[in-house]
Structure 1
């Protein structure tokens, strides 16, 4: 098994600069995690982003951006006439809110071709996807993704999943619950965020979240909770791992960078508690930059300290 693959949506990101000036970049929850996996692994380790692209100029720029930063796109299709989704970040202090335009996003069709999806996931050490991946897809697309991930898992690939619940992506809460539970059932590593799990499932504490996810058969669970300690349950251990104080300017991508740091640490052979400590270091550095993607070298420095 070689390499890492994430499944999801690469969006155009608009972040505030000065006044009405906006800075354009590319981001998205699973892409952000892929960025940090790329930053924190050896250059010859394959990192692929599995999605679907449009054929417009912005989609061409997306593909070039990924290639220029060492992230491949496996067998991701190019869909004639489609275009990327778009979101804008608005900051109040260091906390952020988002406005989205994604109904016509090409990535909504990433699950339409089961054969291409299977080829993209073949032979990976770890596959990562999220509740946002599931939320943008049609019911058939969701099932195709679950089937492809399950098949890869049967061949020995580890699967990591973050539910990353966003209510606006779902027809209703019941549909979201079932889809996310189905995804947890095919995961080896769960990386949920407690406020999301509380909002959808009503969990009262991170411990409740971990117990519920354990019931789905997941054996390695890290419950993130912002600046509160992360709860790690794995290998018979049940441990709180404190977050690291940061001079935060923008919390966009904090959880995604934690996931990237955690996955990179596990790929490097660290056990789960040590991996969570490394992941906190990465997230603390990332929130000291604007936008979801901090410079790779800065993430790398934090990871190695």
Structure 2
């Protein structure tokens, strides 16, 4: 019997500028941001964030933050002497830039105990991961993760994946192409962003991205494109889903991640892809109107249900 949802990846300490020399500390990371939206929109479902954590005060605070929002960590290891990664957001208008301190983050060791990883992914309804999850792992660790995901899929889990290509995290483009291609082979629902795919694979259009990913094995593909319409491919059929224009965005951090979370939540709740995408656009439009990656649960739920 499936028991809920898991996201796999790295949740970091987030510092966001509050003006002058003031900074606000929070917790965020692409896969966690997506799980956060799912938690907000599916209050009856059990959710876990699968990673590796340190034993320092920041790691303890992170785990307590998860717990206070009904997010577990399954069998994720607690590593003595390890600590979380850190990033800071600086804004020019609403556009963000990031500075990272993450080379020795605990999450890079999330597959060090394959048995614990397999246990964390056992009997899941949905497992979500991203290209950033892959990029922080060394090649043998990436293979361990993909094998674990393939095994979970064979036992009934649906696998969702956002390629989320970030060039600076990869040694070169060919390694990224290979790893992301291998990930797509174990994916049921793919949630790429067109500018990323254009940069990584040279795709000429959203349709080209959707068809390439369909050919790799995913039956459902949602190609996001910022404020332009998204393209949905579902078992061979394609259609567009208009985005929502926000006249004065505050902070675009986490918009695509929250779109993913809302789309996946809607699909798990039994909604059709067209309705799921419409709700996901509403949620993303809400997120860009708050600072930081995580909007309050009640705002996300209000946008989703409207």
TM class, shorter-length: over 0.9
Q: Which residue of 1 aligns with 2:181?
A: 181
Q: Which residue of 1 aligns with 2:231?
A: 231
Structure 1: gaps (5+ residues)? none
Query: Aligned partners of 2:69 and 2:28: how far apart in 1?
Result: 13
SS of 1:228 mapped into structure 2: coil
Q: Which residue of 2 aligns with 1:244?
A: 244
Kept after mapping to 2: 8 A contact 1:123/1:152 = yes
Structure 1 window deviating more from structure 2 (198-207 vs 23-32): it is 198-207
1:237 Cα deviation from its structure 2 partner: 2.4
Deviation string for 1:30-76 (max 9, x for gaps)?
0000100000002x310100000011110000000100111110000
1:215 Cα deviation from its structure 2 partner: 1.1
Query: Aligned partners of 1:13 and 1:47: how far apart in 2?
Result: 21
Kept after mapping to 2: 8 A contact 1:112/1:144 = no
1:2 Cα deviation from its structure 2 partner: 2.5
1:144 aligns with 2:144: yes
1:245 Cα deviation from its structure 2 partner: 2.0
How do residues 11-22 of structure 1 correspond to structure 2 at under 5 angstroms?
A: 11-22=12-23
Kept after mapping to 2: 8 A contact 1:230/1:241 = yes
SS of 1:215 mapped into structure 2: helix
Deviation string for 1:258-301 (max 9, x for gaps)?
00000100110011111111100110101100000011110000
SS of 1:161 mapped into structure 2: strand
Structure 1 residue runs of 4+, over 4 Å off?
Answer: none
Q: Which residue of 2 aligns with 1:90?
A: 90
Query: Aligned partners of 1:177 and 1:200: how far apart in 2?
Result: 7
Query: Aligned partners of 1:130 and 1:79: how far apart in 2?
Result: 23
Query: Aligned partners of 2:110 and 2:154: how far apart in 1?
Result: 22
Query: Aligned partners of 2:3 and 2:71: how far apart in 1?
Result: 14
CA RMSD of aligned residues (A): 0.8
SS of 2:98 mapped into structure 1: strand
1:9 Cα deviation from its structure 2 partner: 0.2
Q: Which residue of 1 aligns with 2:129?
A: 129
Q: Which residue of 2 aligns with 1:201?
A: 201
How do residues 99-118 of structure 1 correspond to structure 2 at under 5 angstroms?
A: 99-118=99-118
Q: Which residue of 2 aligns with 1:262?
A: 263
Kept after mapping to 1: 8 A contact 2:77/2:110 = yes
1:220 aligns with 2:220: yes
Q: Which residue of 1 aligns with 2:39?
A: 38
Q: Which residue of 2 aligns with 1:28?
A: 29
1:217 Cα deviation from its structure 2 partner: 1.2
Kept after mapping to 1: 8 A contact 2:219/2:236 = no
Instruction: Report the TM-score when normalising by structure 1.
Output: 0.98
Query: Aligned partners of 2:185 and 2:171: how far apart in 1?
Result: 21
Structure 1 window deviating more from structure 2 (20-29 vs 245-254): it is 245-254
